[in-house]
Amino acid sequence: MDMPEVINRPQQELLIAERLKAQWSTLVKSAGGKLSLLDSEFSKMVREYQSGGRVYHNLFHIGKVDEVLNRYRHLARNFVALKFAGDGHDVIYIPGSKTNEEDSASHIRGVMTKLGMPASIVTETERIILITKDHKTTDDDIDGKLMIDADFVIFASPEVEYDAYARGIWQEYVDSGKVSKDAFREGREKLVRNWLKRDRLFLIDEIQKESGFLARKNLERELILLTS
């Protein structure tokens, strides 16, 4: 019997990048943009996601966000803007920085402008990225709610995957020397407690019904570990 092929990390990143790039090509065409600079601009974004010792905020995270946004694209009002926001919302990420979202929005604005994307779509992409700073929006902002839920869908992962996510956040902040262990534990515990105080963890009804229970279970488990 043939053994199943094991796909290593570089191969996985390549597959994610190829999938995202194919989508960019389709979206740029649909919006009347130019494809001549797509290869170079997309490659720059990929290099950013592969830089700086990222353990969680990398292409794997963006790949997960992409899966959610495509799964629920039937709910989106401006899928082109939403998709570029999903792909680019963490392109600039420095643990402890207070301007990651603004810097990422600025980076993607430059990319989309070079690709000749309509100004209205560029502006909406920036708006959606900036929502990920506080993860709050109005009840009628469907695309903003989809972005927030996609960013948090890791909460509803199987235990092994969730634990890898939690370790990744720790490594990005503590092991990198950006934040002390005590400061990280205090800040992370506060975040987890605040998430658990919510009546629901996801804003889109379909996502809450499918993922809310498991997400809460994982967060409760992490809180026990943080306080033990």
pLDDT, tens only, 7-20 = 467 889 999 999 99
Q: 9-227: what fold?
A: Catalytic domain of cyclic nucleotide phosphodiesterase 4b2b (1.10.1300)
Read off the DSSP letter of residue 172: I
User: What is the tens place of the pLDDT at every residue in 141-182?
Assistant: 999 999 999 999 999 999 999 999 999 999 999 998 989 999
pLDDT of residue 156: 98
**Structure pTM?**
0.93
pLDDT of residue 52: 80
Asked if residue 120 has pLDDT above 80, the reply is yes
pLDDT of residue 146: 98
Asked if residue 132 has pLDDT above 90, the reply is yes
- pLDDT-above-70 percentage for the chain: 96
CB 176, CB 53: distance < 8 Å: yes
pLDDT of residue 96: 87
The contacts of residue 103 (CB under 8 Å, 6+ apart) are: 92, 97
The contacts of residue 13 (CB under 8 Å, 6+ apart) are: 50, 58, 59, 60
| Cα 168 to Cα 9: distance, rounded to the nearest angstrom | 15
CB 55, CB 166: distance < 8 Å: no
Domain residue ranges in the chain: 9-227
Task: Please state, as a whole number, how many other Cβ atoms lie within 10 Å of the Cβ of residue 26.
Answer: 11
User: What is the tens place of the pLDDT at every residue in 52-94?
Assistant: 889 999 999 999 999 999 999 999 999 999 999 999 999 999 9
> What is residue 137's three-state secondary structure?
coil
